[in-house]
Structure 1
């Protein structure tokens, strides 16, 4: 004669069986492609001219030795503004982000097409990098291992597989 399992016994068996079921499934690879910039969202405001002037004085002024003296960027305020007039943007799903230029109008930025995809691994972190027209870049950071399947975005869809 078998005795029915008590609620406590059922819970204990479920607690053992659930992790085993989750771990027994095969690891699946996720295929990623460069996000379209026309769907990207600006999440930080562009700096004002006053803010840029202030940071120009700190970055390129007497304390420039602390930053390693960037001769080209510090040659003129216009050069500095070209490099540092940026704001944080994210892809529509939030997985990619990048500091995109505030010197471009939004229509030009949104129209920029992806050119190439690359991957960099440093320690336990992988950076999946998408380069766009007009010198723009979006990056996804992950602990997954990613390999590029197609890196040229201009001839078709570039994509990477991440596990």
Structure 2
């Protein structure tokens, strides 16, 4: 008499075999992107938009935002902090809000200084800090470890599993 394997046991066996044949997971390597090839993907806010958001952020409802006293002390301070636009690396992996008060040529000329990593609620961030206070971030659900943090010796790199 021939015994038939229940379908769910056969499926489990196939899944285990597929897992063994696929081999170990590949690690992804990431380096701080070159800002020479970064692109601005959102427009800078207009003066009118900044004035409007200044009134909302720093006006009577400022208590909702935690009373950022330094940013709200003058419109110029607010403009320095909030006159930003989204930029992305050429491959779209890294992004950051960079200052519209800085000419694009100066942003493109900024060199990477260091890479760091932090994790919160299952999300890992690789942070690349550049000259002139620019910052680009890569976000992933993978665990990442910075291999080379100091960019002065070459490329800042991290491995994500």
Question: Distance between the aligned counterparts of 2:121 and 2:70, measured in 1?
Answer: 31
Matched residues, number: 150
**2:59 pairs with one of 55, 58, 61:** 61
- How far the C-alpha of 1:27 sits from its partner, in A, is 1.1
Q: Which residue of 1 aligns with 2:5?
A: none
* TM-score when normalising by structure 1: 0.86
Gapped runs of 5+ residues in structure 1? Answer: 1-15
Structure 2 residue 72 is matched with structure 1 residue 74:
yes
C-alpha separation in 2, matches of 1:133 and 1:103: 15
Q: Deviations over 1:127-160 (max 9, x none)?
A: 0110111111111110111111110112321101
TM-score calculated relative to the size of structure 2: 0.87
1:90 to 71, 88, 91: 88
* Partner of residue 27, structure 1: 25
Indicate the residue corresponding to 2:127 in structure 1.
129
Query: Matched residue of 1:35: which SS?
Result: coil
Please tell me the root mean square deviation across aligned C-alpha atoms, in Å. 2.0
Gaps of 5+ in 2: 1-13
4+ long deviations beyond 4 Å: none
